[in-house]
């Protein structure tokens, strides 16, 4: 299991500085968040890759159309991963996954906004096999409905039992990381954003959360 740090920022300098700082602390996966890409374009992805060449970089494109083009662009700018919306048409998902595989980009289908994420993932798997599904509870939904991380965790576990990689995202803090680690069940990637990026000491918070994941999981297993 890995921690992916989501940089949903609109300040490229801060994003690069944070990436460098976390890289020294063992960063494995860093995400060029959708706001960062919208503000600065695909060069933001390259900037993060340069700041931490050892880490995998995710271009959180949330592609909704022209799947092959956006997958190719992500790879050309140094991304190791790219995201496509699970709620978009299946043809776009197929094109994104196909082109990604051709150019060496790993594909993640983000299930944000999907009413029945497990059924939709199964539907997608009949046509395309991405490297990862992201079971994602959006910020707006959390704020207005009170739904929490626990509501989607079972979906992620059931999906992983079908032989596909899964990630979880949405307001995750050290509490949720410890819950997953103690469960003894695998989640491939745990995406953490505000809990690290918004902390007064992002490096210390990252180290703490990463230690919770690695140590607690080792004890549970």
Mean pLDDT taken over the chain:
92
- pLDDT for 155 equals 87
**Cβ atoms 31, 9 nearer than 8 A:** no
Q: Among 141-150, 154-163, 195-204, which range has the highest average pLDDT?
A: 195-204
**Cβ atoms 201, 169 nearer than 8 A:** no
Residue 124 burial class via C-beta count within 10 angstroms: exposed 0-12, middle 13-18, buried 19 and up: buried
Average pLDDT on 154-169 reads 92
Average pLDDT on 23-48 reads 98
pLDDT confidence of 153, banded at 50, 70, 90? confident
The CATH number given to 2-220 is: 3.20.20.70
Q: Where are the beta strands (DSSP E) in the chain?
A: 2-7, 29-32, 56-63, 81-85, 106-110, 132-136, 166-169, 189-192
- pLDDT for 171 equals 84
Look at residue 54 and tell me whether its pLDDT is greater than 60. yes
């Amino acid at each position: 299991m890995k921690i992916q740090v989501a940089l949903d920022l609109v300040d490229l300098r801060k994003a690069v500085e944070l990436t460098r700082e976390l890289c020294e602390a063992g960063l494995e996966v860093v995400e060029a968040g959708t706001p960062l890409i919208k503000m600065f374009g695909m060069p933001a992805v390259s900037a993060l890759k340069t700041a931490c060449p050892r880490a995998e970089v995710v271009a959180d494109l949330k592609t909704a159309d022209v799947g092959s083009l956006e997958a190719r662009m992500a790879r050309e700018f140094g991304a190791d991963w790219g995201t496509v919306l699970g709620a978009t048409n299946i043809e776009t998902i197929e094109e994104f996954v196909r082109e990604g595989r051709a150019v060496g980009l790993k594909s993640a289908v983000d299930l944000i906004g999907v009413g029945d994420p497990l059924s939709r993932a199964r539907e997608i798997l009949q046509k395309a096999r991405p490297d990862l599904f992201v079971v994602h509870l959006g910020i707006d939904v959390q704020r207005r409905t009170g739904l929490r991380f626990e509501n989607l965790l079972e979906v992620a576990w059931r999906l992983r039992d079908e032989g596909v990689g899964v990630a979880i995202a949405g307001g995750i803090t050290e509490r949720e990381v410890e819950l997953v680690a103690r469960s003894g069940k695998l989640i491939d990637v745990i995406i953490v954003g505000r809990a690290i990026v918004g902390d007064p000491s992002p490096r210390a918070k990252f180290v703490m959360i990463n230690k919770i994941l690695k140590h607690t999981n080792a004890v549970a297993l």
